[in-house]
């Protein structure tokens, strides 16, 4: 009898063996096919590793270990996305330097990750806060700047009064700060932007060339939000002559139904022609109201349309020549389209609501609905009416004809627009990459010379944020005051730092050559490793990190740093691990599971098995404290197979080839739960028989090795005279042996299973019918119809 499995001893033994012998450290090797597997590097928070991390990392871990056994040269790196607010806040609260906090947190993460037995290449660890790393983050920013893709602009920004930072649109969900939950206010501020909008079309197009789950593609498409329509010029009569007011519309076909224009409260027309506005007081009051209104209210609280008519100005419909009134209303946004719309209340519900409230005329120009009840917005049905140039046409044709007509006369033109906004690229905080720009009173914005990179963060005594939304770095006069690299005159440094998402936008490249001093990535290393073959991460990053990093990679492609326009070949996304109560894990709910506790109680292998067995990898799954016991039993049963080992026995009850195929296929298609279930089934078969052959045992160990590397390594060594499992090959199957010679065919009568017969594979219908006769199912009945699906099922329709 084998003694009980001691996971503590065994797991320690193998981790020591792997890490001391550097088994997972790789070099470029042209003789071997490469596989680059990537997981989203963690933010090293003080709370340590979360079970969510375990699920996120375990998929690529399994694939990486499998690919190694299959002879691939596998790059499976790990790093830390370590700049960011929580660290800075914790550092302030405990009066330490964020550097110290970061180092301590990373150290803790490394220890935890090694205890799980992950097969990371520990020689390539990347830390975004390391000056040798952020030197290149800054370098990439400078390249963007030099090509006009980074610019500073004064705009209204989302400002979190609690974190005291300007937030990107992506960070202020529903008008509350993503980080702290405080309500976001609008503030005017100088902000750095990256022109991601210029890449919108290519980011959209690139999705056709990558293997991402459909939901990710759709989400990114929606985020980019491409729409095609027309920009149309309405002349506005002012004292200074005609002002060409551009409106954006996707429905130029409805131009005969325009009964008023609406411009955003921030629209420059209001400022530029103040003098012409008879009720300027009223208009300005409305502008101020809109300004202070938080985004939240603007969207949710105000179902009721509000607005003010601009007296003293009228616009002219370029097609009909009719004079129409102009309104300003906050349902029109300055940052989409042109900030001005032509209102067609008959065929746009928002315009309809507005027209009803303000008693404006509603004209039907497409038949098919009842515009006295609601707007008729259908683009598919309906034909044009009351529209002399396009009467009788279906909508789509009318759109094209109308644009052609307007283009020919210079009234309007085709226009494509995107919802995605430029990326606000700065924070007023300390713990981030300094933006390498010098402001010179004479020369303007001057890039820090590349040879001076990295531009290091100065050590500050006090790095708390300021209420006036300026960066703590501004307080460090020695650092701020410098000389202009161009004219040599006195100048000041940019004091804002880069956002959290900067460092993570290119880290996957750095892993290929983490110590390269001449470029972000060594071209030779890139040539070998190329694209990430498989990248796993969370759905929450789809419209942030995943799109930002595609953008940066595309830019680096344009400037010749990389040779693939898309960074990731394949992407998968794990579902959330919920608490045992089915709710999202959170401190306040008290339903957080600490992976350390699980490792201490059951061992790393059990944790790894369970996190993958818990359910469909891509769907959310509640943590189940009881379920883990089953996985623990499973490892014990595996261990006890030693006592059943025989050199020979009847193995016809277990089709190893079929098992290999199922498990391999399931791993590759991210169905780890069923892969493990198949191995459990095999174990049940073996237990029922009480014997296991060496071949079966070895096969099972190899199949399970990527999931549970410790116990399988130990068992392999024990039963094979000290041989090492990592030197073996992943099992392959013989397709010819997948199928047995005989098949059991369920016999249905009127669609219900009434019996079953065993026949030779490929048996004819008559042979099966003959076999059925012996069952005595058909007494007193006559068969009217037979449906036979060879080797599958037979169904008899009887009377």
- Rounded to a whole number of angstroms, the minimum distance from the CB of residue 123 to RNA is 37
How is residue 371 written in tokens? 């515009």
Contact 717, 762 (CB under 8 A): no
Q: Is 797 in the site for RNA (CB under 7 A)?
A: yes
Q: Please report, for the chain, how many H helices and E strands are present, in that order.
A: 24, 33
Q: Is 751 in the site for RNA (CB under 7 A)?
A: yes
- Rounded to a whole number of angstroms, the minimum distance from the CB of residue 3 to RNA is 13
Contact residue for RNA among 73, 89, 138, 249 (CB under 7 A): 249
Largest Cα separation within the chain, whole Å, is 109
Q: Is 537 in the site for RNA (CB under 7 A)?
A: no
Contact residue for RNA among 312, 368, 620, 790 (CB under 7 A): 620
Q: Is 401 in the site for RNA (CB under 7 A)?
A: no
Cα 82 from chain centroid (whole Å) = 19
Contact 239, 435 (CB under 8 A): no
Contacts with RNA by CB under 7 A: the residue count is: 86
Q: Is 373 in the site for RNA (CB under 7 A)?
A: no
Q: Is 543 in the site for RNA (CB under 7 A)?
A: yes
Q: Is 691 in the site for RNA (CB under 7 A)?
A: no
Q: Is 250 in the site for RNA (CB under 7 A)?
A: yes
Cβ proximity to RNA, 596 vs 791, nearer residue: 791
* Interacting positions 15-34 with RNA (CB under 7 A): none
Contact residue for RNA among 186, 439, 445, 673 (CB under 7 A): 673
Q: Is 765 in the site for RNA (CB under 7 A)?
A: no
Measured at the CA of 316, the angle between CA 310 and CA 319, to 5 degrees, comes to 145
Please name which of 257, 209, 252 lies closest in space to residue 233, comparing C-alpha atoms.
252
* DSSP conformational letter for 379: S
Q: Is 799 in the site for RNA (CB under 7 A)?
A: no
Q: Is 227 in the site for RNA (CB under 7 A)?
A: yes
Q: Is 790 in the site for RNA (CB under 7 A)?
A: no
Cβ proximity to RNA, 624 vs 770, nearer residue: 624
Report the distance separating Cα 231 and Cα 246, nearest Å.
6
Q: What beta strand segments (E) does 283-361 contain?
A: 308-316, 323-328, 340-343
Q: Is 339 in the site for RNA (CB under 7 A)?
A: yes
Q: Is 332 in the site for RNA (CB under 7 A)?
A: yes
Site string for RNA, 303-322 (x = CB under 7 A): --xx----------------
Q: Given the rule CB under 7 A, which of 56-64, 427-435, 498-506, 617-625 is the region that contacts RNA?
A: 617-625
Q: Is 746 in the site for RNA (CB under 7 A)?
A: yes
Report the distance separating Cα 677 and Cα 659, nearest Å.
11
Q: Is 789 in the site for RNA (CB under 7 A)?
A: yes
Sign of CA dihedral 285, 286, 290, 291: negative
Strand pairing partners for 237?
Answer: 242, 314
Report the distance separating Cα 380 and Cα 752, nearest Å.
45
Report the distance separating Cα 684 and Cα 659, nearest Å.
13
Strand pairing partners for 37?
Answer: 534
Return all residues near 313 (Cβ < 8 A) that are at least 6 apart. Answer: 236, 237, 238, 273, 276, 277, 326
Q: Is 680 in the site for RNA (CB under 7 A)?
A: yes
Please name which of 91, 43, 38 lies closest in space to residue 67, comparing C-alpha atoms.
38
Report the distance separating Cα 377 and Cα 247, nearest Å.
19
Q: Is 468 in the site for RNA (CB under 7 A)?
A: no
Site string for RNA, 132-171 (x = CB under 7 A): -------------------------------------xx-
- Rounded to a whole number of angstroms, the minimum distance from the CB of residue 205 to RNA is 18
* DSSP conformational letter for 468: T
Q: Is 492 in the site for RNA (CB under 7 A)?
A: no
Report the distance separating Cα 59 and Cα 353, nearest Å.
50
Q: Is 422 in the site for RNA (CB under 7 A)?
A: no
Cα 449 from chain centroid (whole Å) = 34
Q: Is 626 in the site for RNA (CB under 7 A)?
A: yes
- Rounded to a whole number of angstroms, the minimum distance from the CB of residue 517 to RNA is 39
Q: Given the rule CB under 7 A, which of 144-152, 275-283, 296-304, 701-709 is the region that contacts RNA?
A: 296-304
Q: Is 697 in the site for RNA (CB under 7 A)?
A: no
């Amino acid at each position: 009898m084998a003694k009980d499995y001691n996971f503590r001893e065994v797991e320690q033994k193998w981790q020591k063996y792997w890490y001391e012998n550097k088994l997972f450290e790789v070099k470029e090797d042209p003789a071997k096919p490469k596989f680059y597997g990537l997981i989203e590097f963690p933010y090293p928070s003080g709370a340590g590793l979360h079970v969510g991390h375990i699920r996120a990392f375990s998929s690529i871990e399994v694939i990486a270990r499998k690919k190694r056994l299959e002879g691939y040269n596998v790059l499976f790196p790990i790093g830390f996305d370590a700049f960011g607010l929580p660290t800075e806040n914790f550092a302030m609260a405990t009066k330490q330097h964020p550097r110290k906090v970061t180092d301590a947190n990373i150290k803790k993460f490394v220890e935890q990750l090694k205890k799980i037995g992950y097969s990371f290449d520990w020689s390539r660890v990347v830390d975004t806060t390391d000056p040798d790393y952020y030197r290149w983050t800054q370098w990439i920013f400078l390249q963007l700047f030099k090509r006009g893709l980074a610019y500073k602009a004064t705009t209204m920004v989302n400002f979190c009064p609690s974190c005291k930072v300007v937030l990107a649109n992506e960070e202020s969900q529903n008008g509350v700060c993503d980080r702290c939950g405080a309500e976001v206010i609008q503030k005017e501020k100088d902000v750095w932007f990256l022109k991601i909008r210029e890449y919108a079309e290519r980011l959209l197009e690139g999705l056709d060339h990558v293997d991402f789950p459909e939901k990710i593609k759709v989400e990114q498409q929606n985020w980019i939000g491409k729409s095609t329509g027309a920009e149309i010029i309405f002349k506005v009569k002012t004292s200074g002559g005609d002002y060409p007011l551009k409106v954006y519309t996707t429905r130029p076909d409805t131009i005969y139904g325009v009964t008023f224009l609406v411009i955003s409260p921030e629209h420059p027309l209001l400022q530029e022609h103040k003098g012409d506005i008879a009720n300027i007081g009223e208009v300005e009051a409305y502008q101020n109201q809109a300004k202070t209104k938080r985004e939240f209210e603007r969207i949710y609280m105000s179902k009721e349309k509000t607005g003010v008519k601009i007296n003293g100005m009228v616009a002219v419909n370029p097609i009909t020549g009719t004079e129409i009134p102009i309104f300003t209303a906050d349902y029109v946004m300055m940052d989409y389209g042109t900030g001005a719309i032509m209102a067609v209340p008959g065929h746009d519900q928002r315009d309809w609501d507005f027209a009803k409230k303000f008693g404006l005329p509603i004209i039907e120009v497409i038949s098919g609905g009842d515009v006295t009840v609601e707007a008729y917005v259908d683009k598919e049905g309906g034909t044009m009416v009351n529209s002399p140039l396009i009467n009788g046409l279906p909508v789509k044709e009318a759109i094209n004809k109308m644009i052609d007509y307007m283009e020919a006369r210079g009234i309007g033109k085709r226009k494509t627009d995107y919802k995605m906004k430029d990326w606000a690229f700065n924070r007023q905080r300390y713990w981030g990459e300094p933006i390498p720009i010098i402001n010179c009173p004479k020369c303007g914005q001057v890039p820090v010379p590349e040879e001076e990179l990295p531009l290091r963060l100065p050590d500050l005594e006090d790095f708390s944020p300021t209420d006036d939304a300026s960066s703590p770095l501004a307080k460090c006069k020695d650092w701020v005051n410098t000389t202009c690299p161009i004219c040599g005159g006195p100048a000041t440094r940019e004091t804002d730092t880069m956002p959290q998402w900067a460092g993570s936008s290119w880290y996957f490249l750095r892993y290929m050559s983490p110590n390269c001093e001449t470029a972000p990535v060594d071209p030779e290393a890139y040539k070998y490793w190329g694209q990430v073959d498989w990248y796993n991460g969370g759905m929450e990053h789809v419209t942030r990190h995943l799109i930002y990093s595609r953008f940066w990679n595309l830019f680096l492609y344009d400037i010749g740093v990389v040779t693939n326009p898309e960074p990731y070949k394949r992407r998968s996304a794990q579902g959330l691990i919920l608490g045992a109560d089915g709710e999202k894990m959170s401190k306040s709910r008290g339903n957080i599971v600490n992976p350390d506790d699980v490792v201490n109680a059951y061992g790393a292998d059990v944790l790894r098995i369970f996190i993958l067995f818990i359910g469909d990898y891509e769907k959310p799954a509640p943590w189940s404290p009881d379920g883990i016991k089953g996985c623990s039993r499973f490892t014990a049963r595996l261990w006890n197979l030693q006592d059943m080992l025989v050199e020979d026995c009847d193995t016809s009850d277990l089709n190893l080839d079929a098992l290999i195929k199922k498990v391999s296929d399931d791993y590759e298609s991210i169905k780890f739960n069923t892969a493990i279930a198949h191995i459990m089934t095999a174990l049940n078969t073996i237990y029922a028989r009480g014997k296991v052959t060496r071949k079966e045992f070895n096969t099972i160990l190899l199949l399970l090795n990527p999931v549970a590397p410790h116990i399988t390594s130990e068992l392999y060594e024990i039963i094979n005279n000290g041989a090492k499992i990592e030197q073996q090959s992943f099992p392959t199957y013989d397709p010819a042996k997948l199928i047995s010679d005989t098949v059991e065919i369920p016999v249905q009568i009127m669609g219900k299973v009434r019996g079953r017969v065993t026949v030779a594979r490929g048996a004819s219908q008559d042979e099966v019918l003959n076999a059925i006769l012996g069952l005595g199912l058909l007494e007193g009945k006559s068969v009217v119809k037979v449906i036979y699906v060879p080797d599958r099922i037979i169904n008899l329709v009887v009377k």
